[in-house]
């Protein structure tokens, strides 16, 4: 099994950052200097993405198995969106090796269900799956646009993210090296988002859920359900932010993250 490549920078306690669906570790660049000043950060690209585009994972279990091999001892784990789902699975496997778990715009179950109304609609996930067949780049741009919908003064940030994730990544070009791996990773990611349900599996790690008031993908209303499901978890709501609050509200995001981690140092 090929081991994931990891870029590690900064000094301090270990922090592992895991990106969301279709993205790579470039998503953290807005908060990267602030986090590097406090932590030794492992910027992780999931299989099929970024510097790990040469690696193909075939299941959620396969992804988790690979991620487990690069988690330092006594690490703080930070996962955004799909990355938060991966982080929860990792925490369930090695709670004794982790100091804390911060989940950004992430829940134990992403897709809606009869008993879980505040999730991503199955129709939206299905539309993304169909769009991948015809034009992955256009589908990614649409997904990025959803993350910033209704957020003031976010156009420049949105365009920069498209540049980092879509325009500068050669493997997104159809027929290019790594294209098959990336497309496979996108499809697997949607499957994980559609089918994974961790509501009955609570990691024995201090947990911080960070939501955004204007998130169009993970509605803030899920907080009420989560309080019942994870009564011991800390829950933070960022006002006027969308699905990627660390990009649009970096100082506020880092402040909440540091306060939680320092309380579990």
Q: Mean pLDDT over all residues of the chain?
A: 95
pLDDT of 4 reads 98
Q: How far apart are the first and last CA of the chain?
A: 33
Q: Which residues in 118-146 are b (16+ Cβ under 10 Å) and which e?
A: bbbeeebbeebeebbeeebbebbbebbeb
Q: Is the dihedral of CA 73, 60, 168, 27 positive or negative?
A: negative
Question: Given this model, what pLDDT does residue 252 score?
Answer: 98
Q: List residues with catalytic annotation.
A: 81, 215, 243
Q: How far is CA 245 from the centre of its chain?
A: 12
pLDDT at 177: 72
Q: For the chain, which domains are there? A: 6-263 (3.40.50.1820)
pLDDT for position 90: 98
Cβ(232)–Cβ(143) below 8 Å: no
Phi-psi region of 178 (alpha: psi -120 to 50; beta: other; left: phi over 0): left
Q: What pLDDT, on a 0 to 100 scale, did the predictor assign at position 160?
A: 93
* Averaged pLDDT, 177-206: 95
- What the block records as the tokens of 247 is 């990009």
Q: With contact defined as beta carbons under 8 Å apart, do 24 and 157 qualify?
A: no
| pLDDT single digits (tens) 199-241 | 999 999 999 999 999 999 999 999 999 999 999 999 999 999 9
Q: What distance in Å separates the CA atoms of residue 18 and residue 45, rounded to the nearest whole number?
A: 7
- The pLDDT score that the predictor gives to residue 153 is 87
Q: What whole-number distance in Å separates Cα of residue 150 and Cα of residue 145?
A: 10
What is the reported pTM?
A: 0.97
Q: Quick one: tokens of 48? A: 């099929």
How much is the average pLDDT of 79-100? Answer: 98
Is residue 59 packed enough to be buried (19+ CB in 10 Å), middle (13-18) or exposed (0-12)? exposed
Q: What is the pLDDT of residue 185?
A: 95
pLDDT for position 174? 74
CA 88 – CA 101 distance, rounded (Å): 8
Mean pLDDT of 87-93: 98
How is residue 18 annotated by DSSP?
A: E
Give me the percent of the chain exceeding a pLDDT of 90. 88
Closest CA to 244 of 178, 145, 101, 173: 145
Per-residue pLDDT tens over the stretch 40-73: 999 999 999 999 999 999 999 999 999 999 999 9
pLDDT digits (tens, 9 = 90+) for 142-178: 999 999 999 988 999 999 999 999 888 888 877 777 8
pLDDT for the residue numbered 171: 82
- DSSP letters spanning 43-105: EEPPTTSGGGTT----SHHHHHHHHHTTPPTTEEEEEETHHHHHHHHHHHH-GGGEEEEEEES
């Amino acid at each position: 099994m090929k081991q994931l490549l990891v870029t590690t920078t900064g000094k301090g306690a270990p922090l592992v950052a895991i990106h969301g669906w279709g993205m790579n570790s470039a998503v953290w660049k807005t908060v990267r200097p602030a986090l590097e000043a406090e932590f030794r950060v492992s910027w992780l690209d999931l299989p099929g993405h970024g510097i790990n585009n040469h690696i193909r994972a075939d299941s959620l279990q396969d992804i988790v198995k690979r991620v487990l091999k690069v988690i330092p001892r006594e690490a703080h784990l930070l996962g955004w969106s799909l990355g938060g789902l991966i982080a929860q699975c990792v925490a369930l496997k090695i709670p004794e090796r982790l100091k804390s778990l911060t989940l950004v715009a992430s829940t134990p179950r992403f897709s809606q269900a009869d008993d879980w109304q505040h999730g991503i609609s199955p129709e939206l996930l299905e539309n993304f799956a169909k769009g991948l067949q015809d034009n992955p780049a256009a589908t990614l741009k649409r997904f990025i646009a959803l993350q910033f919908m209704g957020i003031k003064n976010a156009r420049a940030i949105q365009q920069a993210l498209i540049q980092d994730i879509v325009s500068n990544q050669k493997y997104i070009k159809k027929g290019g090296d790594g294209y098959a791996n990336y497309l496979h990773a996108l499809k697997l990611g949607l499957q994980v988002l559609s089918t994974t349900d961790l509501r009955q599996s609570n990691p024995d790690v201090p947990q911080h859920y960070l939501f955004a008031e204007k998130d169009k993908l993970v509605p803030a209303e899920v907080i009420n359900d989560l309080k019942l499901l994870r009564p011991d978890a800390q829950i933070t709501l960022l006002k006027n932010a969308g699905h990627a609050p660390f990009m649009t509200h970096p100082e506020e995001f880092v402040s909440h993250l540091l306060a939680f981690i320092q309380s579990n140092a």
